[in-house]
Chain A
Amino acid sequence: MKKLYTLIKNDLKLIVRDKTLLSFLLLPPVLIIAFKFLTPILVETAPILEEYRVIIGMFASIQTAIMFGFVTSFLILDEKDENVMNVIRILPISGFYFILYRLLFATVFSSIAAYAMITLSDIAHPGNLEAILLAILYGMTAPTISLAISTYAKNKVEGMAYFKGIDLLLMLPIASFFVGSSLSMVFSILPTYWVFHFYETSYNDAPAFEFFAVGFCFFGILISLLLFQFRKRVFGR
């Protein structure tokens, strides 16, 4: 527990002393407040948007959830850039412990932020249990982003480009609601397809747990593959 406390304290110092990371960390509450107050104004101004509340909810939740993935990936990229990763590898604790603790925290905070967005913003509430399950799925985007960026990006500039690309990819399945049902399945190769469809279906009070199950397994497999790649490429194991 003492080591975990040391790691948390150290990471907080690193985040607070970096303006970009700090702003990304503070962005989720700002987004929740912004969506809570702006969505009613938007719907009032353009009543057609009432039909698209759930789409707005999907977008708002994913944008809130990915911030912690970004912060974690940049902490790891910093360690790669500054060669600290070599020192971590020769500590008497597993270097993987450093990474797993961060991924776990990013998942928890992302889930909490997504849950807060779904339940507090009043954009599109899918039900209490569904909100929790949705928050878990959204939370799983954080380790996915962290591992993808920190494994493949060589530096922070590349990392920022990867982040924008991954953000776009994760949002892409929203398009599945605007195309015909045959084309819609094309987007199912992306994990967020299952998250968004779970959201939409449960918002419309239809049985939706198969979407949750597939989404959960999809993220689970993806995170495992990325962890394997991370170990191989970053830790050389």
Chain B
Amino acid sequence: MIHTKDLYFKYPGAAQNTVNGISFDVGAGEIFGLLGPSGSGKSTTQKVLFKLLSGYQGSAQIKGKEITDWGKELYSQIGVGFELPNHYLKLTALENLAFFQSFYDEGLDPMELLKMVGLEKDADKKVGEFSKGMKMRLNFVRSFAHNPEILFLDEPTSGLDPSNSRILKDIILDLKNQGKTILITTHHMEDAEELCDQVAFLSEGEIKKLDSPENLKLEYGKRTLEVRTYGSNEPVIFDLDQLKDDKSFLELVQSGEIKTIHSKEANLNDIFIATTAKK
């Protein structure tokens, strides 16, 4: 559904490329995460893909068609959730949704959309009176109000409290189950780990690592087990591969002294630092 091959992009007047030869594929019904520090080229890549930026080199395709060959009909196929809220502040939430929906042939019920993100009671309130979190939730539902096949979400959980963040993540997973293809950029590694089938770590416009979160965690993790006991403040480390024959571990299990026990696979935060840190 989304394909890039050796994609380069340079802003007019800039000395260097912001996107530096990246290649990735996102299949139908997949969630793909573009992760990386600020300025790494995540949002620029998205903007090239939804045609807000022109003049790229290499290939960028949506549904097998080069971006440059798409006309305005592209925007019926895709939905975009921007990082910053963008609404008419003098219009109500319902008016905002209805206004933008009126330019599409297809559309979901605006009131149902507001209900999904807990804004039904605020449907007739002017958006100017909304908090940032409320505006972000409205941004989010507007991105798929016309029922597109592909969604681009830029920091969808930014500025949200944990409960609302949970609601949005559940909706994203539900959209995936409906077969939508989703490209997410985020700084929240926990979100990426939970939502994405594949993640790409970007730094200085290049993809440093691309794989499923599960594979990356295994690749970057240590095959060790950390055991903390009631008798000591220091953890005891065991080799996972030797565990079944490790007498001291088996004795510890039988002693009933174990307080906590954890395998030491990496999390995406560790991988983020390892892959995107500037040398």
Let me know if B272 is at the binding interface, CB within 8 A.
no
Let me know if A6 is at the binding interface, CB within 8 A.
yes
Q: Is the CB of A84 within 8 A of B88?
A: yes
Interface residues of A, count at CB 8 A = 23
In the bound complex, residues from chain B placing their C-beta under 8 Å from that of A82 are 86-89
Q: A6-B99, A87-B100 in contact; A93/B72 too (CB < 8 A)?
A: yes
Chain B 134-153 interface residues, beta-carbon cutoff 8 Å to A: 142
Q: Is the CB of B73 within 8 A of A92?
A: yes
Let me know if B238 is at the binding interface, CB within 8 A.
no
Chain A 189-237 interface residues, beta-carbon cutoff 8 Å to B: 236-237
- Counting contact residues on chain B (CB < 8 A from A), the size range is 20 to 34
From residue A232, how far is it (CB to closest CB) to chain B in Å?
A: 10
Give the CA-CA distance A200 to B87 in the complex, in Å.
47
Let me know if B52 is at the binding interface, CB within 8 A.
yes
Give the CA-CA distance A87 to B76 in the complex, in Å.
13
Q: A3-B102, A83-B82 in contact; A91/B87 too (CB < 8 A)?
A: no
From residue A57, how far is it (CB to closest CB) to chain B in Å?
A: 36
Q: A83-B85, A86-B82, A90-B75 in contact; A236/B53 too (CB < 8 A)?
A: yes
Let me know if A17 is at the binding interface, CB within 8 A.
yes
Let me know if A18 is at the binding interface, CB within 8 A.
yes
In the bound complex, residues from chain B placing their C-beta under 8 Å from that of A2 are 102
Q: Is the CB of B86 within 8 A of A89?
A: no
- A selection of 11 A-B contacts at a CB cut-off of 8 Å is A13-B95, A17-B126, A79-B88, A84-B88, A87-B100, A90-B50, A91-B75, A91-B103, A92-B73, A92-B103, A236-B52
Task: Give 13 new A-B contacts, CB below 8 A, not counting A13-B95, A86-B52, A87-B86.
Answer: A6-B103, A10-B88, A13-B91, A14-B90, A17-B126, A82-B87, A82-B88, A86-B82, A87-B142, A90-B52, A90-B75, A91-B100, A94-B72
